[in-house]
Amino acid sequence: QACYGEDSITSRRAAFMRLLEAAIAEKAMQTAGKPALSTKDLKTESERIDKETRAPDILACIKNNLGSKERYLSAFVRPSLVESRLRDYLLRDASVQAEPRKAVREALAATSGGLTMKATAGKFGLEYSTKTYTADEEPGTALGSGMPWSPFEKDFIELHIKNLKPGDLVKEPIESDYDFQIVRLLRSDGRHWTFETARMRKIDQEKWFKSAPKMKLAVKDADLRQWLIGIQGNPRLNATKMEQ
């Protein structure tokens, strides 16, 4: 941890928590049917890190401090790979996001059938809002918002809004890394697009770990065990049952 600079957290507890959270996530994914990480997986990830790192000096420091290759793979590469696999699993796995995806599809069908989007949002538990995106690139031109043009807004308009006519509803729910949403264009003058949206957030780590089967957690170190007992609100610890 000290390799990251003066502001890094270097306590024993912080290092323990990093490894513990990764172990909980890996076990939870295995319980859900995902394969365990193999030696080949760790080697491939290690090679990727070596190739893509933008901080070779920090990486060299980490390797030097951990000593053996085995410790480096288990204490640094494995937690990093677990975190990336967990994120991809929660965002992309059809079974994880089945419930919100189903709700949004039902909301889209109801809206297509004549129900107002605001009423649809209330019925299916979605968040309703209206938004205006602008093609003007100078700060302060987005209908007086004072906000500069966002690349996200440009991409959203190009992909989902530009070919709609006022009153048109998207044919399929729009999926992002964080949510599903249905959209109807309300009006446009070719420079500004005002639309309404009903949005369902994706299941995140907190919800997923709370719904995961409880796993037994045995911590032999008395200081660390007592410290963990006092922690509240950590989504991964919510998936465990501490053994006394």
Backbone angles phi, psi at 134, to 5 degrees: -125, 150
Out of 71-85, 121-135, 137-151, 223-237, least confident range = 137-151
Per-residue pLDDT of 42-74, as tens digits, reads 999 999 999 999 999 999 999 999 989 999 999
Specify the 3-state DSSP secondary structure of 141: coil
Query: Which of the two residues, 102 and 148, has the higher pLDDT score?
Result: 102
Query: Which of the two residues, 1 and 161, has the higher pLDDT score?
Result: 161
Instruction: Round to whole Å and give the CA distance between 66 and 159.
Output: 47
Binning pLDDT at 50, 70 and 90, where does residue 144 land? very low
Structure tokens at 184: 């109807």
Instruction: Round to whole Å and give the CA distance between 84 and 12.
Output: 24
| 142, pLDDT greater than 50 | no
Instruction: Round to whole Å and give the CA distance between 195 and 161.
Output: 8
Residue closest to 175 by CA, chosen among 68, 85, 60, 98? 98
| Residue type present at position 20 | L
Rounded to two decimals, what is the model's pTM? 0.79
The predicted structure's pLDDT at residue 208: 95
The predicted structure's pLDDT at residue 137: 56
